[in-house]
């Protein structure tokens, strides 16, 4: 029996029934026949949107004599143009296709701490009202503890109802911020390499991304480069501010570089934001992950910055539980009230049980803060060992890691491979690092993320010789990585 995917469209007034199909003759003609047994997708349509959909096996032969309604207009909203490709979707799929050690996407492959697991279990098996809606802008015990915890860190008296918004992950916080603050034609300065969603989120809000790159300077001879060697050029940064600049996006510690912005660098950014009356969206999801005595500084804590800064965090990153998807954004009420408008008309609120679990985790952390038992101290201690392990191992095959000061990522320089094997398979215009990452997945069973995805299109060619590895991984994963690298090393020997 032939199978066709067809649409039965109904327009409200006057009501016209139509059938179209994406397959075969029915698709292109206004009159035709559907034979019995054909699978048909029925879509009940208003003039602007699909109201209901169901798939049915058509019971009998049907002659079409009605008007065909295939949309000739562009289907997707213009704001989606050019942003349909997503590197995470692509590389997560690739990682699943091969037998690999996955050091690509940033998620821990070990359990969250016991107190966090117990908090989640309690949230799902305790008070049955946690199965129900909670307050739109955050489960009250969570907004209360977040306000108290971060208020102390930022030196601000925070009101849980006015200065804190709980979101679906840090992604949700970012999206809500862009939607609330960026207008058609507004410019948004993005410091690259940058977490890849800042650009599409700016575009979806109608804004114009304006990029400024951190520039690497060579390491001393015989030394490994460090993320610290990547610096902003103050003159170039200043030149990016125009009367249309609405916001600057900062990410410290930075994904993918692991750079922790120094107080001096943040002061430069802060001065320019104040001089040009610009908002700062500060993504600080890796704030606990800093190494070698470096300090994370929140730009909102600098003089004059609280009033123009949104600070974004993630429970997924804080408690090694990325699947919980609880994030938050804090800032002054006069800015947050606009984010609340977006939130109340879109997500409304995040899952109550996950919020209850995160509240308990922060209550626990507040009691242990600054002590050796604090997870916010234990996690970076453990990740420093992982970082150093990975740095040693990657060098065995000629990958040149840069030492990150923060986050759980490091980037490795693949220039030597680029000169030795320049012609890896791939599309002609595909940046080298993408081709290399795919080659490495298929041939070496190791997943890393090409760093050019963290750069705007015009700059990708200049930064196509790095790949990003994630080291928030279990001991067994790092051992498996070592085995793959040893095998690779043997293959390199003549
Ligand atoms: N910001 C940065 C810099 C990230 O790396 C990520 C990825 N997790 C996010 C935001 C999104 O965080 P979440 O998983 O909490 O949505
Ligand atoms: N933030 C994570 C990373 O950088 C994951 C991003 C994602 O999966 N969309 O790896």
State the DSSP string of 129-149. Answer: GGGS---TT--HHHHHHHHHH
230 touches 260 (CB < 8 A) = no
The token pair that represents 214 in the structure block: 């951190």
CA–centroid distance, 317 to ligand 1, in Å, is 8
Residue minimizing CA distance to atom 12 of ligand 1: 170
The whole-angstrom separation of Cα 482 and Cα 171 is 33
Instruction: Give me the residue label for tokens 């809000």.
Output: 205
Q: How many residues does the chain have?
A: 494
Q: What is the DSSP string of 161-181?
A: TTSEEEEEHHHHHHHHHHHHH
User: Would you say the CB of residue 289 lies under 6 angstroms from ligand 1?
Assistant: no
What is the model's pLDDT at position 4?
35
Q: Is 322 in the pocket of ligand 1 (CB under 6 A)?
A: yes
The upper half-sphere exposure of residue 263, i.e. CA atoms within 13 Å in the direction of its Cβ, equals 6
pTM of the model: 0.87
* Closest to 51 in 3D by CA, of 9, 19, 18: 9
Rounded Cα distance, 260 and 287, in Å: 9
Location of structure tokens 């420093």: 384
What is the whole-number distance in angstroms between the Cα of residue 285 and the centre of ligand 1?
A: 6
Q: Parallel, antiparallel, or unpaired: how do β-strands 466-470 and 409-413 relate?
A: antiparallel
What's the pLDDT at 53? 61
Reduced to 3 states (helix: H, G, I; strand: E, B; else coil), residue 389 is helix
Q: Which one of the ligands is nearest to 323 CA?
A: 1
Residue-level pLDDT at 17: 37
Regarding beta strands 62-64 and 187-192, do their DSSP bridges make them parallel or antiparallel, or are they unpaired? unpaired
Sequential DSSP letters for 395-420: GGGT-EEPBPSBSSEEEEE-HHHHHH
Query: H helices within 76-139, ranges in order?
Result: 87-97, 114-125
Rounded to whole angstroms, how far apart are CA atoms 251 and 31? 57
Measured CA to CA, the distance from residue 34 to residue 22 in angstroms comes to: 13
Give dist(CA 134, CA 409) in Å, integer. 35
Q: Which residues pair with 43 in a beta bridge?
A: 53
Rounded to the nearest 10 degrees, what angle do helices 333-344 and 169-181 cross at? 110
> 21 vs 34, 38, 239, 327, 397, CA distance in Å?
10, 11, 53, 42, 54
The pLDDT of residue 466 is: 98
Ligand 2 pocket at CB < 6 A: 88, 105-106, 255
**Ligand 1 proximity of 327 Cβ (cutoff 6 Å):** yes
Mutate which of 83, 88, 251 for ligand 2? The one with the most ligand atoms within 8 Å of its CB, which is 88
Q: Return the ligand number nearest the Cα of 449.
A: 2
Residue 283 Cβ inside 6 Å of ligand 1? The answer reads yes
User: Which tokens hold the place of 298?
Assistant: 């929140």
User: Which residues in the chain land under pLDDT 50?
Assistant: 1-31, 45-48, 66, 68
Instruction: DSSP letter for 113, please.
Output: P
Q: Collapse the DSSP code of 187 into the 3-class scheme (helix H, G, I; strand E, B; otherwise coil) and give the result.
A: strand
Q: Hey, is 107 helix, strand or coil? A: coil
> Is there a contact between 312 and 282 (Cβ–Cβ < 8 Å)?
yes
170 alpha carbon – ligand 1 mean position (Å): 5
For residue 285, give the ligand 2 atom closest to its CA.
Answer: 1
- CB-based contact 67:35 (threshold 8 Å): no
Pull the structure tokens for residue 62.
């049907």
Q: How far apart are CA 385 and CA 393, in angstroms?
A: 12
Which residues face 278 on adjacent strands?
A: none
Tell me the angle at which helices 432-444 and 475-492 cross, rounded to the nearest 10 degrees. Answer: 100
Backbone angles phi, psi at 424, to 5 degrees: -70, 150
pLDDT for the residue numbered 218:
87
Number of the ligand closest to the Cα of 106: 2
- Considering only CA atoms, give the Rg of the chain: 26
Distance CA 494, CA 491 (A): 8
Q: How many whole angstroms separate alpha carbon 159 and alpha carbon 74? A: 45
pLDDT at position 33, please? 64
**Of the residues 92, 172, 195, which should be mutated to test ligand 1's pocket, given the most ligand atoms within 8 Å of the CB?**
195
How remote is the C-alpha of 270 from its chain's centroid? 24
**Per-residue pLDDT, 14:** 27
Residue partners of 184: CB distance under 8 A and separation at least 6 = 206, 207
């Amino acid at each position: 029996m032939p199978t066709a995917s067809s649409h039965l469209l109904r327009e409200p007034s006057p009501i016209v029934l139509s059938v179209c199909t994406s397959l075969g003759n029915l698709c292109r003609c206004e009159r035709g026949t559907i034979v019995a047994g054909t699978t048909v997708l029925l879509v009940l349509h208003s003039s602007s949107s699909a109201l209901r959909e169901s798939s049915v096996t058509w019971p009998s032969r049907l002659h079409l004599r009605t008007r065909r309604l295939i949309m000739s207009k562009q289907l997707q909203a213009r704001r989606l143009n050019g942003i349909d490709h997503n590197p995470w979707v692509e590389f997560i799929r690739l990682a699943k296709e091969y037998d690999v050690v996955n050091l690509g996407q940033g998620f821990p492959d070990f359990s969250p701490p016991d107190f966090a697991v117990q908090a989640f279990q309690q949230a799902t098996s305790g008070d049955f009202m946690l199965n129900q809606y909670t307050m739109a802008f955050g489960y009250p015990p969570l907004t209360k503890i977040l306000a108290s915890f971060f208020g102390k860190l930022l030196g601000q008296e925070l009101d849980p109802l006015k200065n804190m918004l709980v979101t679906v992950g840090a992604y949700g916080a970012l999206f809500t911020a862009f939607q609330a603050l960026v207008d058609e034609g507004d410019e948004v300065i993005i410091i690259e390499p940058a977490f890849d969603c800042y650009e599409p989120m700016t575009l979806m809000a109608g804004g114009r991304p304006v990029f400024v790159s951190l520039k690497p300077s060579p390491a001393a001879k015989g030394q490994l480069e460090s993320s610290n060697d990547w610096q902003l050029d103050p003159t170039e940064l200043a030149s990016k501010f125009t009367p249309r600049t609405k916001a600057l996006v900062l990410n410290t510690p930075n994904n993918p570089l692991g750079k922790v912005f120094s107080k001096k660098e943040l002061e430069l950014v802060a001065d320019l934001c104040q001089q040009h009356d610009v908002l700062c969206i500060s993504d600080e999801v890796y704030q606990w992950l800093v190494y070698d005595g470096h300090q994370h500084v929140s730009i909102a804590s600098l003089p004059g910055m609280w009033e123009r800064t949104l600070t974004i965090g993630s429970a997924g990153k804080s408690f090694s539980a990325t699947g919980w998807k609880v994030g938050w954004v804090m800032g002054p009420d006069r800015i947050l009230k606009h984010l609340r408008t977006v939130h109340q008309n879109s997500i409304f609120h995040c899952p109550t049980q996950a919020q209850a679990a995160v509240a308990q985790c922060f209550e626990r952390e507040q009691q242990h803060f600054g002590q050796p038992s604090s997870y916010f101290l234990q996690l970076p201690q453990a990740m420093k060992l992982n970082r150093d392990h990975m740095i040693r191992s990657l060098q065995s095959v000629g990958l040149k890691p840069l030492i990150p000061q923060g986050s759980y990522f490091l980037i490795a320089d693949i220039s030597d491979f680029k000169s030795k094997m320049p012609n890896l398979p791939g599309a002609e215009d595909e940046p080298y690092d993408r081709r290399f990452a795919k080659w490495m997945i298929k041939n070496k069973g190791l997943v890393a993320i090409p760093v050019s995805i963290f750069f705007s299109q015009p700059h990708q060619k200049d930064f196509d010789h790095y790949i990003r590895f994630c080291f928030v991984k279990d001991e067994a994963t790092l051992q498996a990585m070592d085995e793959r690298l040893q095998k690779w090393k043997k293959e390199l020997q003549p």
